[in-house]
Chains A and B, each alone.
Chain A
Amino acid sequence: MSKTVRLVSENWGKIVPGSVSDYIKVGGFEALKKAIEITPTGVIEELKKSNLMGRGGAAYPTGIKWEQIYVIDKYPKYIVCNADEGEPGTFKDRLLLTEDPLKVIEGIIIAGYTIKAEKAYIYIRGEYPRAQEIMKNAIKNAKEAGFLGDNILGTGFSFDIEVVSGAGAYVCGENSALVESAEGKAGRPRIKPPYIKNVGLFNMPTLVNNVETFAYVPVIIAKGAEEFTKYGTEKSPGTKLISICGNVVNRGVYEIPFGLTMREIIYDIAGGIEGGRELKFVQIGGSSCECMPKELIDTPFCYKELKSKGFSVGSGAILVVDDRTCVVDFIKCITEFFVHESCGKCTPCREGNTQVYNIIKRFTEGKGTEKDIKLLERLSTTMKYASFCGLGQTATNALSSCLKYFREEFIEHTKGICRTNVCKF
């Protein structure tokens, strides 16, 4: 466990979540005070220096994002905190919300102060009722303590935060669908441009960041970018929360410095495969991301190295899969998820997922053909290049990687062989 660190998770288990006095005792709201001292441009500079990447999955540099909205001279501006943690296998935001809600709130207040926003909405997925309650309570406490509301810390800056509940749609993790949903409409993505930063919530300039991104802000501001960049690698500085699940001994959320290898994560942090079984692959980043075969697990967990091998950090979900799992059946489950979660707006995602599912199902029934493999590849390409939003564009990432690394298993299924005996023909 020594390979993990406690930076953004420093207060977990140490304070009563949402208690302002507890939070202040461990240095809470110091970052806000410092932010006021160094002014918005100072905050942006510090974030740029830290090279903090957006933690929702797209890994957009946070400092640059904030600066882009900072320079827009149009008001009111809004902030939306994306707490619609819907990527399967991801559960780190839930802990941020329930273990240290005021850290997230402080990050949002700093953002509000920096870009001169009027109000923030925390869009929490409907499946997290407890997190919603804790967050609402923490907001109330912060307001009573004068960290929210009118004239915060005598700066003349007034700001409020409201919790909005999602209703279960995965697509609402996409920032424009999230904004649509927060406005009370059906969660379907918008055309970009205009970008959310210019025309966002209620058509006003809007900053959308993930929970984890906001939570890192007070850490970086209070401790300084240098302290943050001490961890990690040059291109992927700092630490990251990862959610480990699947066939490992120690499932859970861990904070790790970037740069550990996947092997270290699986075997040292997560305690290896349950029952000493053989690793088959690890899916990094969530269901919308690629599956890494065991041969590649010496790859370090950081943006650049993963990308160069065709993988991504994504949401930080790490799903470890042992040799009992049938790749085809696994892809069937993933596709089922995307068939359910496609919003239906664009053709490639709406129809493509359904078609992929039908074909994969044929494989699990021993009825797939080699021609079907070609068809799957054609669908993958079409969905990747032609879908409206990230959902459709990434829905077949897992499939594509499995067709690349486990093609043989697909071919075996065309001959009525499932080496794991999961598929019953």
Chain B
Amino acid sequence: MKEVNLTIDGIKVTVPAGTTILEAAKKVGINIPTLCYHPDQKVKANCRICLVEVKGAKGLSTACSTPVWEGMEVYTNSKLARETRKTVLELILADHPMDCLKCVRNQKCELQKLAEEFNIRKIDFDYVWDELPIDESNPSIVRDRSKCIKCGKCVEVCNEVQSVGALAFANRSHDIIATTAFDRPLKNTVCVYCGQCTLVCPVGAIYEKSDIERVWDALNNPDMHVIVQTAPAVRVSLGEEFGLEPGSIVTGQLVAALKRLGFDKVFDTDFTADLTIVEEGHEFLERLQHNGKLPMITSCSPGWINFIETFYPELLPHLSTCKSPQQMFGALAKTYYANKIGISPERMFVVSIMPCTAKKYESQRPEMYSSGYRDVDAVLTTRELARMLKEAGIDFSKLPSEDFDAPFGITTGAGVIFGATGGVMEAALRTVYEVVTGKELKNLDFEAVRGLKGVKEAEVEINGKKIKVAVANGLSNARKLLDMIKEGKADYQFIEIMACPGGCIGGGGQPFGTTNEMREKRIKAIYDVDKQMPLRKSHENPAIKALYEEFLGHPLGERSHKLLHTHYRARDVK
């Protein structure tokens, strides 16, 4: 590739042609401020915060969008550039509520950070922000439209990454806003509650609906037996909330932290992930052997379930009837486990820690009361858990490593890889292969289904029969597979779909500001955890075996049917 020579603030830089000023500056240690820029999105150049002076250019240039040229002279810190950037930031601040002290993004806000970096001490302009009602219409996502700074990141992720289209820009001039069609409450839109918008929002305009207070109340109630399950993806992301590198594995500290918060038992959703594999694996074999609806599609991602119920209801018979691991956990906790420890399910409060905002909606679905009670009482995102730990004064860095409790803390590597795209497929293949062939699977690593690529395919030979599988992550990629099914062009038997890019490790409940680079690191961590597990196949989990022996009988049995499986319906979003 052609190289281009330029100078930035007098420093010589050589970069490939096509590099932007922003990227070139980063290379020589000059951080040009940005706001609407996102490394995984298209360049927007809306906010005008990254303005620099380019010798000979008309006006100022946005560093995010301007490609370098041979002999270019860039001045990032000239009086004009610096003062104009500051005025632009002041203009944004004058149209922002600035209730930083009680904002969900306090100290995690890109706008607040810029105000600090720009040394803003006063704002010369009139405060012009409009107080708009907060949309709390749904169980998952809150929109505080007054705080919207019109960067457009939520619009792009909703339309292009997820192909959902719940959000778009409406109005113009000072009234422009990223909002729903006809400004309807989110619950009356096609929103699937994936929460990807919450990850890219630079300010506190979109975030999860908090269940923290309800969880505190349960924890503080001495009559309540409060148990918690933690999703696989949380153990590789929670550390980031406490300053650790993305991809840090903090399983033991996570358990210790939850115990300190006062949970009576700390369990692992990996356990019901293993159970899902056993049930779903058998369901798959059942469909395969008895001409059932194929390809069968996984059903553990609630954003994905909302998506297919909204946009492709005609394909619902393809969905596995298995509930998600979160809901299997809740149903078993309030039946099997309650019975085992002799506590009435009425006095039991089940909390789950999820990397997900759609899980909040899922836990409130009417189908999810199969224990006779609400199976999962409260869902906290990774971010909410971090907030609780901070509130409780728990110094995460000083926590010892502790172990999950039995019986729902006994898990395998197959359970943990549910957290990454391709993981459910890989875990299922490990089990299906051995169940069908009766032989030991030598190579457990199905590399072809791993990683951030949107749609992945693999072929596995089981007992001489070729099984073709596909894996999609991110809903625009799911759409590709669904359209293929509709057109009769999908020759797969089994498909895994995760609503969020990267799977649950990239979920909408993960730390704010999640990028693909961070997703890659978390994925690597997930497979590292898998590698370290003594057991890596779900059907070998002794606690699962015991569960079948003591309670469920056999996979797809009557109790399974009642507690672990569900049904779907076309979603009316009017």
Contacts and interface: CB of A to CB of B under 8 A. Distances in A.
Instruction: State the main secondary structure of chain B at its contact with A.
Output: loop
B91 A355 contact: yes
Given A191-B65, A382-B84, A386-B60, A344 B125 contact: no
A340 to B, nearest CB: 6
Q: Chain A: interface residue count, which band?
A: 20 to 34
Interface residues on B, range: 20 to 34
B47 interface: yes
Given A340-B173, A351-B174, A385-B80, A346 B128 contact: no
B169 interface: yes
Contacts of B51: 385-386
A344 B175 contact: yes
Contact of A351 (B65, B67, B92): B92
A340 B48 CA distance: 21
Interface in B10-68: 43-49, 51, 59-60, 65, 67
Nearest to B45: A191
A186 B128 contact: no
Which of A350, A378, A384 has the most CB atoms of chain B within a 10 A radius of its CB? Answer: A350
Given A351-B92, A385-B60, A386-B48, A344 B124 contact: no
A183 to B, nearest CB: 15
A256 B440 CA distance: 91
A339 B171 CA distance: 12
Q: Chain A binding site: helix, strand, loop or mixed by DSSP?
A: helix
Interface in A305-350: 339-348, 350
Interface in B303-360: none
A381 B84 contact: yes
Contacts of B45: 191, 346, 388
A36 B125 CA distance: 59
Contacts of B125: 351, 355, 375
Contacts of B444: none
A425 B59 CA distance: 38
Interface string B92-103: 101100000000
A344 B174 CA distance: 6
A244 interface: no
Interface string B103-138: 000000000000000000000111010000000000
Contacts of A388: 45-46, 48
Contacts of B172: 169, 171, 341-344
Max chain A Cβ within 10 angstroms of own Cβ: one of B45, B124, B173: B173
The winner among A344, A381, A388 for most chain B CB atoms within 10 A is A344
Given A354-B128, A355-B128, A358-B126, A348 B46 contact: no
A353 interface: yes
Interface string A354-375: 1100100000000000000001
B47 A347 contact: yes
A350 B150 contact: yes
Interface string B135-176: 000000000000000100000000000000000010111111
Interface in A76-111: none
A195 to B, nearest CB: 13
B88 interface: yes
A386 B84 contact: yes
Contacts of A387: 48
Contacts of B91: 347-348, 351-352, 355, 382
Contacts of A384: 59
B87 A378 contact: yes
A386 B88 contact: yes
Interface in A9-45: none
B47 A354 contact: no
A382 B80 CA distance: 9
A348 B169 contact: no
Instruction: Indicate the member of A343, A358, A379, A386 with the most B CB atoms within 10 Å.
Output: A386
A346 B47 contact: yes
7 contacts: A191-B43, A345-B176, A347-B47, A348-B48, A350-B150, A351-B95, A388-B45
Interface of A: 169, 171, 186, 188, 191, 193, 339-348, 350-355, 358, 375, 378-379, 381-382, 384-388, 393
Given A171-B172, A343-B176, A347-B92, 14 more contacts: A191-B43, A191-B45, A339-B173, A343-B173, A344-B173, A344-B174, A346-B45, A346-B47, A347-B48, A351-B174, A384-B59, A385-B60, A386-B59, A386-B60
Interface of B: 43-49, 51, 59-60, 65, 67, 80, 83-84, 87-88, 91-92, 94-95, 124-126, 128, 150, 169, 171-176
